[in-house]
Structures are given as C-alpha cells and as structure tokens.
A and B are shown apart, each in its own frame.
Chain A
Amino acid sequence: KAGVTQTPRYLIKTRGQQVTLSCSPISGHRSVSWYQQTPGQGLQFLFEYFSETQRNKGNFPGRFSGRQFSNSRSEMNVSTLELGDSALYLCASSLLLGGVNEQFFGPGTRLTVL
C-alpha cells in the first residue's frame, strides 16, 4: 500500500507570493491533517479535513487555507507569504477523524520564503 505523498518536496518563494501544496493520503483514508514545523515553534496543527469539510482548525491566520477533494486528496494554500512561513509542512492521513486515530505522515514539503 502506497504511503502518504506530498508534492512538491521543496519550494522557494518570495515574500508576497502565494503557494499551494498537495497531499495524497493513503488509499482508503478519509482524514487529512496539515502541520507546520519550524525550529522555533516545533510542530503545530494547521487544520484537518474529512469528507471534503474542514473539521478542525489550529491558531493560524486566514492566509492559511486548505481544501479536500472527493478522492480525499488535499491541498493547502498560503497567500501573501511572509518570511516566517518558511517551514516544513507535513500532512498526515488517518482512516477516520480526530485524535484517536493513528496518523501516517508524508515526507513533507520544505518551503523557503526569501
């Protein structure tokens, strides 16, 4: 069974630009969660999607948004990029919604904002 895939793996953008990251969950998994990891803040929860609906959201500004498609693939968008958005963005999939389910992580997208 293929694991969680994320594209692209590396990305360089400049301040003010926007970026879209993609995550394909494990086949059969319906929940996709997104996380940001920075050296200063560690791992932080961005949001979780289940059945094409955002179910949970962390404390991030509205510049961070996402969506989920009918095949459970998810995209995350960051608009008006800031230097502080440079981070490793990880997605994880699980069978069902919420914290009681084992999370399977993708390899991450490393975003650098110049």
Chain B
Amino acid sequence: KNEVEQSPQNLTAQEGEFITINCSYSVGISALHWLQQHPGGGIVSLFMLSSGKKKHGRLIATINIQEKHSSLHITASHPRDSAVYICAVGANTGNQFYFGTGTSLTVIP
C-alpha cells in the first residue's frame, strides 16, 4: 500500500476550467508538499503546508489533517499549467519523504 495516493492519474482540461487534484496519505506528517514537474524533469515546490489553506496566484492548496487529505486547485487553467503535479509528505517519524505517483495535467487551448 502506498503511503500517498493521488487522484486522478491523468487529467485533461479546457483552458479556463477549474481543476482539482486530490491527495490522501496514511502516515503522520510534519508537512505536505505540492510539487510541479515539467517535461525535462525540473521540479518546483509549489506549496508546503501543515494546516489550513494557502494561495499563490491561481493556485490554492488545502489540507485537512483529521481526514489526512489535501487538494490542489487551479483556477482559470492555462496551457502553461500542463505538467505533472506531485503530492509529497514529510513523515513526522523518521523524517522520510513519501511521494504520490503524480497527476499528469494537460490543458488544451
């Protein structure tokens, strides 16, 4: 069983659509991270959160610690948002990182 589960695995959206990617985890965490990976491999950290909600531009991340669930929302999606989005958790025991398998997002003009 994976410690971090993401859904959906693949997502295609029309430009302008509201997008939600979900992440569930089974371990106790110190923080949850949302990462973005573009073709070619480069990874950018989008959010790190341990409670509540964070917003950066058109991106919003929420976390519910009791339900062990986080969501990443993209408002007014744009083709440049096309990438793989990865949920990762820093476990609060052993300090290991666990990763979801990623959500491949394609936004069509």
A12 on the B face (CB < 8 A): no
Asked if B96 and A43 sit within 8 Å, CB to CB, the answer is no
Asked if B102 and A100 sit within 8 Å, CB to CB, the answer is no
**When each residue 93-106 of chain A gets 1 if its CB lies under 8 Å from chain B and 0 otherwise, what string results?**
00001111111110
By size class, the interface of chain B is 20 to 34
A8 on the B face (CB < 8 A): no
Residues in A with CB closer than 8 Å to B10 are none
Number of interface residues of A (CB under 8 A): 26
The chain A residue sitting closest to B91, CB to CB, is A99
B42 on the A face (CB < 8 A): yes
Residues in B with CB closer than 8 Å to A110 are 41
Question: Among residues 51 to 109 in chain B, which have CB atoms less than 8 Å away from a CB atom of chain A?
Answer: 86, 88-92, 94-102
**When each residue 10-41 of chain B gets 1 if its CB lies under 8 Å from chain A and 0 otherwise, what string results?**
00000000000000000001110101000001
CA distance A92 to B31 in the complex (A): 16
Asked if B95 and A44 sit within 8 Å, CB to CB, the answer is no
User: Can you offer 18 A-B residue contacts whose CB atoms are under 8 A?
Assistant: A43-B88, A43-B99, A45-B98, A45-B99, A48-B95, A56-B96, A88-B41, A90-B41, A92-B43, A98-B30, A98-B90, A99-B90, A99-B92, A100-B48, A102-B45, A103-B33, A108-B41, A108-B43
User: Which residues of A are at the interface with B, using a C-beta cutoff of 8 A?
Assistant: 33, 35, 37, 42-45, 48, 55-56, 58, 88, 90, 92, 97-105, 107-108, 110
User: Which residues of B are at the interface with A, using a C-beta cutoff of 8 A?
Assistant: 29-31, 33, 35, 41-45, 48, 50, 86, 88-92, 94-102
